[in-house]
Amino acid sequence: MFKRFFRSTAFLVIALLLAPLSPVNAANTATKYPLVISSGGYSTTIAKKPTRIISLSPSATESLFEIGAGKQVLAVDSLSNFPKSAPITQLSAFEPNVEAIAALKPDLVVLSVDAMKSLVVKEALEKLKISVLMEKAPENLAQAYKGIEVLGAVTDRTSAAKNVTFKMAALIKSILNRAKVSGKVTFFHELDNTLYSVTSDTFIGKVYKDFGLINIADKAAGADSYGYPQLSAEYVLKADPDIIFLADAEYGESPATVKARAGWSGITAVTKKNVFALPNDIPSRWGPRLVDFYRTVATSLAKVKK
Partner 1 sequence: MKKNQIDRVWRWQITASAAAALLIACLLGVGFGPVDLNFGSIIRTLLGLPNGLENEDRTLLLELRLPRVVLGALVGAALATSGAVYQSVFRNPLADPYLLGVASGAGLGATIAITNGGGDLHAFLPIFAFVGGVLAVAATFLVAGRLFADPSTLLLAGIAVGSFATAFQTYLQQRNSAALRPVYSWILGELTVANWDVVKWAGFYIFIALFVLIRISKVLDALMLSDEEAYSLGVSPQKIRMIAVAAATLATATAVSASGLIGFVGIVVPHLVRGLTKRATNRSLLSIAFVGAAFLVIADLGARTLLSPAELPIGVITAFVGAPFFLFVLRARNRGSQ
Which range of residues in 226-234, 238-246, 276-284, 292-300 is near partner 1 by CB under 8 A? 226-234
Tell me the per-residue interface mask from 229 to 248 with partner 1, x by CB under 8 A, - otherwise: -x------------------
Cβ closest to partner 1, residue 29 vs residue 78: 78
Cβ closest to partner 1, residue 33 vs residue 42: 42
Among 103, 256, 262, 302, binds partner 1 (CB under 8 A): 103
Among 4, 127, 219, 273, binds partner 1 (CB under 8 A): 127
CB of 229 to partner 1, least distance (A): 8
Residue 220, phi-psi category: left (phi > 0), alpha (psi -120 to 50), beta (remainder):
alpha
Asked if residue 111 lies in contact with residue 58, where contact means CB atoms within 8 angstroms, the answer is: no
Mode of pairing for the β-strands spanning 35-39 and 42-46: antiparallel
Mode of pairing for the β-strands spanning 275-277 and 243-246: parallel
The pair phi, psi for residue 151, each rounded to 5°, is -60, -35
CB of 299 to partner 1, least distance (A): 29
CB of 1 to partner 1, least distance (A): 42
CB of 41 to partner 1, least distance (A): 7
Residue 36 in the binding site for partner 1 (CB under 8 A): no
Alpha-carbon distance 20 to 121, whole Å?
39
Residue 196 in the binding site for partner 1 (CB under 8 A): yes
Binding site for partner 1 (CB under 8 A): 41, 78, 89-92, 94-95, 97-103, 114, 116-117, 119-121, 123-124, 127-129, 196, 223-226, 228, 230
